[in-house]
Amino acid sequence: MLQLRGAAALSPFRVNKLLASARQKVARLATMSTEFVHFVDLECALNDNGRQVLEQLLRYGPSCHAQSHDTQ
């Protein structure tokens, strides 16, 4: 299973609003972030070109992180 990190799931405004609400329950909460995560069930390993095409297809919105995780 290939796991690719996506764009931010919420705008900074929404994250700040959610953070303020969460701090009412957990005062020590310092930061919060959100992101979409894409799970790709592969039948075989992707070559470099296939990986590049997949990452281009899933690139949208502002990027949260430049990393991806393989969880096989």
pLDDT digits (tens, 9 = 90+) for 17-43: 999 999 999 999 999 999 999 999 999
pTM value is 0.67
Exposed e or buried b for every residue in 6-15, given b needs 16+ CB within 10 A? bebeeeeeeb
Residue 69 — pLDDT band, cuts 50, 70, 90?
very low
Beta bridge partners of 37: 5
Q: Give pLDDT tens digits for 41-66.
A: 999 999 999 999 999 999 877 665 54
* C-alpha to C-alpha distance for 42 and 71, rounded to whole angstroms: 11
